[in-house]
Structure 1
């Protein structure tokens, strides 16, 4: 006989079960990207009322040694700093605060550094400091008290800018992302790549703050031994809705979605200018990544694109972007990830989208059709007919594949062309395998082409894209004629010479 189901679980009491110290390891293993982690620290600066934030990379010759985030916010006294350094520390968040869970500073920092030091001063209290050392944190939540004299020295280092009367310094040491060996130009290449990505990420996710006259973020690189400033530049706002002319005169248009448990949610729907080359459109990822919802929480962008299970992304909706300011009380309809890098929307929200309307009766579903139509009409008006091609495959970076598929019609039902590395004779740069639809690049030249960087499946994206554009037609014919064979030999010779020249340059740099 089936027992009656009990809807409430009976209990007999409670028992205190504090977290094991290893919880710190779990806290630091949440998959924070480098740019996402830095943005989380800048959020704290904004909550502290900062007007000027400096992200400072410190190097000693070729070796990167520390990273600091410095602000001129209202600072912290001894007790407040203890709360800030406590995992899940309780504090009263302002209604418009960017912080939420009390874990961002610790989890973001210890995801990327073996030690995080926080030093802070206010107009009325002495300078104080705390340090989480990962190896000590996991053995018992032991947080170090920073020597007051050193704490003051670190504050004084930034006395001219940005800290005048008050402020905070967050210092990372043992940064996992830094090159282990900075020689051979590795540090310079790392900084060039990382600073560009960091500037774009901060410019995008904090663009509403950066557009204000009284808020600035600066990224700088300094040599601690010589005091030389290598780089010092301000982060520009990157507004994903900053187009010169709308793709349709009927947009932007506001739709209202009535979400159960939340109420009215405004959807500001935009259609971008077709074939735009502006950074605000092109620098945000692939065509799949760019379209969809841009969720904001207290003016901070927390999700840049995606349809949140409402529909699948597709090429013809690449001009569609929708700005959504999350309500203060989102209930279960919108759940922000701890990293503030995405929003989980409930089925109630996706259902409400189907019934969302504008004041004039226009529906949200009609907006999607309009965005699709603008994209298709722009392609027709271009006046050019491009021949279909065999699609690109493995080895070509996803963002490159997306653009190729956006710009060129694809031959249906064809296996894609892959690009991979393979050990070949010295006199050969590439080899074509028609049967398996593969372009093999000579492994002997890989290190030179990558400039000493570690490789991966989708490395050397520019060279692979150029090879695809040169060679895709070869796979579309069953055999190579005399002219095609001559072209292949020509390209082979030139590329081998270029690769050998690159190898020699890299060897010179390493000496």
Structure 2
């Protein structure tokens, strides 16, 4: 059998002329196929951060409960009309630095066209007039706005963000927004969209939010009149656990264990946590294990092994942070949508070369072994304590975090411990219909002599939460009613006795 060779180019072939083959305008409809609402917003927030913005304000314009327009305002340095025309071309890109994330010049267009058929970009540099361009998905042409139109649209920023500089992007003729006739469904869609967006932004930009490099706010503008700010977008750190399941972690691993070598950081979470930082944007039975890759401090991947290895149940607590720019540059390629990565062929060898900085005899295999051991230990411990209801109002945040981290949580409403009127005049009463343990407020000063706060008397409230947890969160049986009555009576006697002792001391 003879080896067949591919045909060679004929060096004598002549090129008569060169023709230009521009893309058909229908390619615009393919842009953004890999984006959703949140990732589309990401592209604009990324650009705002690159433009040195301190504030990003996202306004959801609503008409009769239906989302009709999305406006994204920032107070960055803004763009000149020349620069705007340049960056709005497909593939148009400004050279960045290590602190910027743009690579392909497609992000703003892709993210916007995934969510809107009409996109308007307005920008102003300090000391100059604002400029504006409107893009249509149907063509490669763009409309330059008149100064009158620019002024009207620029004033949408009033009372929200600085008028003297920055960029505003408007999405109109929205794609994917609820268009039905049911007002309740429209309101539900809007509420879910806001909550999903707030959580997504809190995760992706948690490093910027945590260090207050940027503030991201979300507003709802109802019927062009009422502007309502939603709860603050706060940092959600995927490795922000109150404590690690293994006290030796987090651990830094570098090439050959050298202090300044290229490396990663390994984290081991506690099991069954209900914190947003563990569940991230949605609960995953495998625990969002894997690589958390950061590019210029933006979180790109929320776990997943990216082909390095298959997910395993016994790795569910393991998270590996890759944020060293040298590692990213050498071994990782980011997708155009900045939402996934591809590992190089050398990445496996890189991981094999890693050693603990504080113990160069140990490798990444030791990390996996520790993660498995932590999970097994937590599962072994879980059989020793009964599941309890989640902590609700009135408990100190630190106590609720500890409950999330340490306890097995049963499926029920959170149990709150609050001060209130107890008409039986006893120290405490339990309302299982509302999952509330109500403490008689006439004893409040005895337990908390200072100025009362919503989460005051943490020790007493936590003890009551534990004692009456089942009674407040489960179907009441004759036995549980009897126990509740007995315990409440004894606590009332003890509380009255403590009052008398305090009165004798003060007299």
Task: Assess if the C-alpha contact under 8 Å between 2:264 and 2:324 holds in 1.
Answer: no
Task: Assess if the C-alpha contact under 8 Å between 1:63 and 1:182 holds in 2.
Answer: no
Task: Assess if the C-alpha contact under 8 Å between 2:70 and 2:171 holds in 1.
Answer: yes
In the other structure, the counterpart of 2:146 is 147
Q: Give per-residue Cα distances to partners, 1:475-500, cap 9 Å, x unaligned.
A: xxxxxxxxxxxxxxxxxxxxxxxxxx
Any idea what SS the aligned residue of 1:347 has? coil
Equivalent residue in structure 2 for 1:27, among 22, 26, 31: 31
Give RMSD over aligned pairs. Answer: 2.5
Superposed displacement of residue 84, structure 1:
2.2
Aligned mates of 1:65, 1:195 — CA distance in 2: 14
In the other structure, the counterpart of 2:383 is 383
Any idea what SS the aligned residue of 2:383 has? coil
Distance 1:330 1:7, change over 3 A: farther
Query: Where in structure 2 are the equivalents of 1:117-266 lying within 5 Å?
Result: 117-135=120-138, 137=139, 141-225=140-224, 227-257=225-255, 265-266=262-263
Aligned mates of 2:341, 2:26 — CA distance in 1: 28
Equivalent residue in structure 1 for 2:320, among 309, 319, 322: 322
Aligned mates of 1:166, 1:54 — CA distance in 2: 14
Any idea what SS the aligned residue of 2:120 has? strand
Superposed displacement of residue 256, structure 1:
1.8
| Uncovered stretches (5+) of structure 1, i.e. residues with no partner | 387-406, 409-511
In the other structure, the counterpart of 1:342 is 340
Equivalent residue in structure 1 for 2:264, among 264, 267, 274: 267
Any idea what SS the aligned residue of 1:185 has? helix
Query: Where in structure 2 are the equivalents of 1:281-320 lying within 5 Å?
Result: 281-285=278-282, 286-288=284-286, 290-320=288-318
Distance 1:12 1:295, change over 3 A: farther
Superposed displacement of residue 133, structure 1:
1.3
Superposed displacement of residue 283, structure 1:
3.2
2:105 pairs with 1:102? yes
Aligned mates of 1:145, 1:224 — CA distance in 2: 27
Q: 162-171 or 295-304: which moved more?
A: 162-171
Aligned mates of 1:233, 1:12 — CA distance in 2: 67
Distance 1:241 1:381, change over 3 A: same
Superposed displacement of residue 184, structure 1:
2.8
Aligned mates of 2:59, 2:153 — CA distance in 1: 13
Task: Assess if the C-alpha contact under 8 Å between 1:257 and 1:267 holds in 2.
Answer: no
Aligned mates of 1:280, 1:373 — CA distance in 2: 22
Aligned mates of 1:304, 1:214 — CA distance in 2: 22
Distance 1:354 1:95, change over 3 A: closer
Q: Give per-residue Cα distances to partners, 1:412-457, cap 9 Å, x unaligned.
A: xxxxxxxxxxxxxxxxxxxxxxxxxxxxxxxxxxxxxxxxxxxxxx
Any idea what SS the aligned residue of 1:210 has? helix
Any idea what SS the aligned residue of 1:89 has? coil
Superposed displacement of residue 20, structure 1:
2.3
Q: Give per-residue Cα distances to partners, 1:93-150, cap 9 Å, x unaligned.
A: 2332121111111111011111010111111221111111122x1xxx1111122212
Distance 1:378 1:330, change over 3 A: closer
2:40 pairs with 1:37? yes
Query: Where in structure 2 are the equivalents of 1:365-380 lying within 5 Å?
Result: 365-380=365-380
Superposed displacement of residue 154, structure 1:
1.8
The TM-score normalised by the length of structure 1 is: 0.69
Aligned mates of 2:278, 2:181 — CA distance in 1: 34
Aligned mates of 1:83, 1:160 — CA distance in 2: 30
Superposed displacement of residue 3, structure 1:
5.1
Q: Which has the larger radius of gyration?
A: 2
Q: Give per-residue Cα distances to partners, 1:165-205, cap 9 Å, x unaligned.
A: 20111000111121112533122100111111111111111
In the other structure, the counterpart of 2:118 is 115
Superposed displacement of residue 5, structure 1:
5.4
After the TM superposition, which segments of 4 or more aligned residues of structure 1 sit over 6 Å from their partners? 6-11
Aligned mates of 1:98, 1:16 — CA distance in 2: 31
Q: 247-256 or 8-17: which moved more?
A: 8-17
Distance 1:146 1:288, change over 3 A: farther
Aligned residues: 378
Any idea what SS the aligned residue of 1:169 has? strand
